A = this chain, B = another copy of it.
Amino acid sequence: MKKYCFGIDVGGTTVKCGLFTVEGEVLDKWEIKTRTEDNGINILPDVAETINQKIQEKNIEKESVAGIGIGVPGPVNEAGEVPCAVNLHWGYVNIVGDLERLTGLPVKAGNDANVAALGELWKGGGAGYHSLIMVTLGTGVGGGIIINEKIVAGSHGAGGEIGHAHVEDAITDPCNCGNCGCLEQVASATGIVRLAKEALASTEAPSLLRDQEVTAKAVWDAVKEKDAVAIQVAERFGNYLGKTLAVFATVADPQVIVIGGGVSKAGTILLDYVTGPFRKYAFSACRETEFALATLGNDAGIFGAAKMVI
Contacts and interface: CB of A to CB of B under 8 A. Distances in A.
Contact of A253 (B147, B159, B286): B159
B253 A154 contact: yes
Contacts of A179: 281, 283-284
A163 to B, nearest CB: 9
Name the residue among A75, A243, A252 with the largest chain B CB count within 10 angstroms. A252
B253 A178 contact: no
Interface string A159-171: 1111011100000
Given A131-B155, A155-B131, A286-B156, A161 B281 contact: no
Contact of A145 (B155, B249, B251): B251
Contacts of A52: none
A158 B247 contact: no
Contact of A157 (B75, B165, B253): B253
Contacts of A253: 152-159, 161
A166 B157 CA distance: 26
A243 B166 contact: yes
B255 A165 contact: no
A251 B158 CA distance: 7
Interface residues of A, number: 41
Nearest to A287: B156
A170 to B, nearest CB: 13
Contacts of A249: 158
A201 interface: no
A166 B285 contact: no
B161 A254 contact: no
A253 B156 CA distance: 7
A162 B285 contact: no
A278 to B, nearest CB: 10
Contacts of A157: 253, 285
Contacts of A215: none
B252 A177 contact: no
A258 B249 CA distance: 20
Contact of A152 (B246, B252, B285): B252
A197 to B, nearest CB: 24
12 contacts: A154-B254, A154-B286, A159-B251, A161-B283, A161-B286, A164-B283, A165-B247, A166-B247, A166-B281, A179-B281, A247-B247, A251-B251
6 tightest A-B CB contacts, nearest first: A154-B253, A158-B285, A164-B283, A158-B253, A166-B281, A155-B255
